[in-house]
């Protein structure tokens, strides 16, 4: 178990205070709750704390999922070039009638486009498919660069040093095509490798796997200390383990005590840990369920944290 558990608990409190600008104020039964509905980024932008994830949301499914999410109140869609569903997402957003500036749109640069000359065309393709002139957030999807057109052939230089790719992303911010830039799947060493360069814009987020089976308390604490917002991907354990996660005894016990669902327990836990959470669903009832988050009382939060770290 992570040695700094007590420190982590104190950190959770301070992180929520640090990141928190405007609380959610939701009530269920007698249980009054407050968790941040968004976090403030270095750019001054406010990123909503709960997003709809759309990886493996197939054509035909993803549009209705985005429509259901926007109706529910989601204003954050976590997409990527490689999910190959950006056109349908763009159409659903347009049809919703919700002004573009009220929706947070993220996309990600795939590993085959890290060469500086390939960044802008890849971004432009996402922008065109999504039917938008800018992204709120553009993320380097993986720290690994592959040669364009090569069959998984590693680009050794750009993998060892992602600064040329980052500089191009900074240029995209200056051109107004992207408002914030970030990274994904970077461990601490790789983050330091990037931020050791004279960056014009620091990474706004690091999107990483965080869930009951992989809670990464050290990374969470390091990111807090270094003011780097984390985004929790596969928050329910991914499609392969979601069912198992939702049946963890500590999670079902907390759900019962608070009269909320196991999915709401786990999604709330991620926000209470100070991260943006990206649950994926194409099922309207689940999309609605996943959007309702509740601050877990300290003892129940600690119980879940301990259970996750003890895995």
Ligand X SMILES: NC(=O)c1ccc[n+]([C@@H]2O[C@H](COP(=O)([O-])OP(=O)(O)OC[C@H]3O[C@@H](n4cnc5c(N)ncnc54)[C@H](OP(=O)(O)O)[C@@H]3O)[C@@H](O)[C@H]2O)c1
Give me the residues that bind ligand X (CB under 6 A), please.
Answer: 53-56, 78, 141, 184-185, 207, 233-239, 242, 246, 263, 278-283, 286, 289-290
List the structure tokens of 286: 């689940």
**What is the 3 state secondary structure string of the chain?**
CCCCHHHHHHHHHHHHHHHECCECCEEECCEEECCECEEECCCCCEEECECEECCCCCCCCHHHHHHHHHHHCCCEEECCHHHCCHHHHHHHHHHHCCCHHHCEEEEEECHHHCCHHHHHHHHHHHHHHHCCCCECEEEECCCCCECCCCCCCECHHHHHCCHHHHHHHHHHHHCCCECCEEEECCCHHHHHHHHCCCCCCCCCEEEEECECCECCHHHHHHHHHCCCEEEEECCCCHHHHHHHHHCCHHHHHHHHHHCCCHHHHHHHHHHHCCCEECCECCCHHHHHHHHCCCCCCHHHHHHHHHHHHCC
Nearer CB in complex with ligand X: 37/234: 234
Nearer to ligand X, 12 or 263 (CB): 263
What gap in Å lies between CA 156 and CA 285, rounded to an integer?
A: 45
State the Cα–Cα distance between residues 103 and 33, nearest whole angstrom. Answer: 24
Q: How far is the CB of 147 from ligand X (least distance, A)?
A: 20
Is 141 assigned a ligand-binding role in the annotation?
yes
Is 31 tagged catalytic? no
- Tell me whether residue 38 or residue 186 sits nearer to ligand X (CB atom): 186
Provide, rounded to whole angstroms, the least separation between the CB of residue 210 and ligand X. Answer: 10
Min dist. Cβ of residue 215 to ligand X (A): 13
Catalytic residue chosen out of the listed positions 74, 83, 134, 138 = 83
Nearer to ligand X, 56 or 200 (CB): 56
Closest contact distance (angstroms) between CB of 108 and ligand X is 6
Q: State the nearest-atom distance from the C-beta of 65 to ligand X, in Å.
A: 8
> Cβ closer to ligand X: 38 or 83?
83
Residue of this chain nearest to ligand X (CB atom): 53
Specify binding-site residues for substrate. 141
Specify binding-site residues. 141
Which residues are identified as catalytic? 83
């Amino acid at each position: 178990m992570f040695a700094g558990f007590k420190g982590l608990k104190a950190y959770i409190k301070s992180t929520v205070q640090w990141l928190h600008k405007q609380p959610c104020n939701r009530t269920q039964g007698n249980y009054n709750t407050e968790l941040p509905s968004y976090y403030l980024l270095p750019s001054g932008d406010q990123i909503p704390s709960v997003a709809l994830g759309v990886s493996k949301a197939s054509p035909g499914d993803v549009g209705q999922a985005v429509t259901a999410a926007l109706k529910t109140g989601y204003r954050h869609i976590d997409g990527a070039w490689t999910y190959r569903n950006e056109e349908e997402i763009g159409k659903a957003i347009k049809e919703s009638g919700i002004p573009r500036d009220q929706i947070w749109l993220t996309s990600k640069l795939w590993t085959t486009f890290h060469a500086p000359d390939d960044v802008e065309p890849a971004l432009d393709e996402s922008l065109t498919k999504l039917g938008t002139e800018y992204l709120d957030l553009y993320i380097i999807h993986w720290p690994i660069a592959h040669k364009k057109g090569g069959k998984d052939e590693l680009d050794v230089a750009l993998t060892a040093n992602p600064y040329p790719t980052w500089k191009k992303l900074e240029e995209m911010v200056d051109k107004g095509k992207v408002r914030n830039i970030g990274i994904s799947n970077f461990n601490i060493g790789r983050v330091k490798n990037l931020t050791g360069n004279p960056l014009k814009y620091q990474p706004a987020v690091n999107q990483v796997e965080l869930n009951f089976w992989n809670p990464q308390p050290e990374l969470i604490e390091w990111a807090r200390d270094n003011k780097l917002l984390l985004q929790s991907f596969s928050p329910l354990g991914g499609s392969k383990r979601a069912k198992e996660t939702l049946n963890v005894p500590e999670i079902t016990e907390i759900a019962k005590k608070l009269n909320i669902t196991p999915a709401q327990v786990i999604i709330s836990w991620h926000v209470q840990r100070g991260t943006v959470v990206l649950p994926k669903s194409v099922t309207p009832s689940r999309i609605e369920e996943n959007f309702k988050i509740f601050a877990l009382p300290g003892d129940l939060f600690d119980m879940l944290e301990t259970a996750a770290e003890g895995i």
